[in-house]
Amino acid sequence: MGAFLDVALPAFLLVFAGAAAARAGWIDEAGTKGLNGFVYYLAMPAALFRAASEGALLQGFDWRLVAAYFGPTLVLLAAVEALGRRKPVAERALTGMGACFSNNVFLGMPVIVAHMGGAAAGPMTAIIAVTTVLFIGLPVLRIEMAKGSRGAAAAAVGGVLANPLLIAIALGTLWALLPWRLPGPAATAVDLLAAASSPAALAGLGAALAGFRIAGDLRDSTALCAFKLVAHPVLVWLAAGAVGLGPFETAVAVLAAAMPVGANVFVLAQHYGIYERRASAAVVLSTLAAMPLAALLMTVFRP
């Protein structure tokens, strides 16, 4: 419980503070969009670039981590889509994404690195990188193909390649292979942005959640939360044991899998005009449920 009180509770308090500020009108819709834009396009890329440039991805990219996390994640995605086989393809794509896509940028990275220590940045960077390719590119590809778009593959690939998080990880990894170091002022600027990423991400998440609504088919949204918060981490834990993943990496992977449904699920649903209310409800409900789950898991999985 001490780990939860020291790490997770302050993080969730920042989320609630952001939500309260938005509800009070101190942060309006434009302010929320601006704050989250700052996190997504500047602060978090800086944090990921710094981690990758220090060799975090090169050190943290273990095939066993990738197999333990993404093997069961793809199995879960296929199972959830099979259960909803009577639904339209676009809805199935978003439902599968919701069951597998953790909010590791705005919540997982700040909380897990604070709990597990700086060594968790490597595995987390690897998880975010592969997640961006698979679980942003794949749903876009399937939805565009279902719409009959000629440029479906180009849209999916373009969306992935233009992702600022992936660009930051790629540039940071490339920089780590070079014998150079950032000049002092540039390094300081990156450090300042990286330091702002965690509090801004958590408050921005809260402000965004204040605009989401719990509506639609709540049975569907609740089932999606169960897949995300229970089935996903359990499957990852079992796979980690099967491939012989180390205790530290197992802890990071399970905690990452136990993060709530990522807001990108709602963003895509809103963009395509489908599954919006259920995606919104799943994001809110899973974020609320993640708090007691984090308290439990942090007593089990420690550095």
Q: What is the pLDDT of residues 141-173, one digit of tens each?
A: 777 777 666 665 676 667 667 778 888 888 988
Tokens 């942090």: give the residue. 298
Short-list 232, 234, 211, CA closest to 281: 211
Q: What is the pLDDT of residues 183-194, one digit of tens each?
A: 888 889 999 998
The pLDDT assigned to 121 comes to 86
The pLDDT assigned to 262 comes to 85
Please tell me the distance from the alpha carbon of residue 23 to that of residue 43, in angstroms, as a whole number: 24
The DSSP call for residue 228 is I
The pLDDT assigned to 33 comes to 86
Please tell me the distance from the alpha carbon of residue 177 to that of residue 290, in angstroms, as a whole number: 37
Q: Which residues of the chain have pLDDT under 50?
A: none
Tokens 């170091």: give the residue. 181
Domain residue limits, the chain: 2-300
Cβ-contact 158, 98 below 8 angstroms: no
CA angle at 30 for the pair 25 and 33, rounded to the nearest 5°: 110
Domain 2-300 has CATH 1.20.1530.20: yes
Tokens 């919701």: give the residue. 98
The pLDDT assigned to 94 comes to 85
The pLDDT assigned to 151 comes to 64
